[in-house]
Amino acid sequence: MATAQLASIAKDFKIADIPVSLMGLTLPALSFVLSLDRILNGITRPFFGWVSDHIGRENTMGIAFAVEGVGIYLLSQYGQDPLLFVLLTGMVFFAWGEIYSLFPSTCCDTFGTKFASANAGLLYTAKGTAASLVPLSSVLQALPGGGHAVFWGAATMNICAAVLAMLVLKPMRRSAGLIK
In whole angstroms, what is the distance from residue 86 CA to residue 36 CA? 8
- Each residue's pLDDT tens digit, 35-77: 988 899 889 999 999 999 999 999 999 999 999 999 999 999 9
Q: Is 76 within 8 Å of 1 (Cβ atoms)? A: no
Contact yes or no for 19/27 (Cβ under 8 A): yes
Tell me the whole-structure pTM to 2 decimals. Answer: 0.88
> What domain count does the chain have?
1
- DSSP-derived secondary structure letter, 112: -
Task: For residue 31, give its domain range.
Answer: 1-176
**Distance, CA of 21 to CA of 138 (rounded, Å):** 30
Residues in the chain: 180
Which CATH number do you get for residue 52? 1.20.1250.20
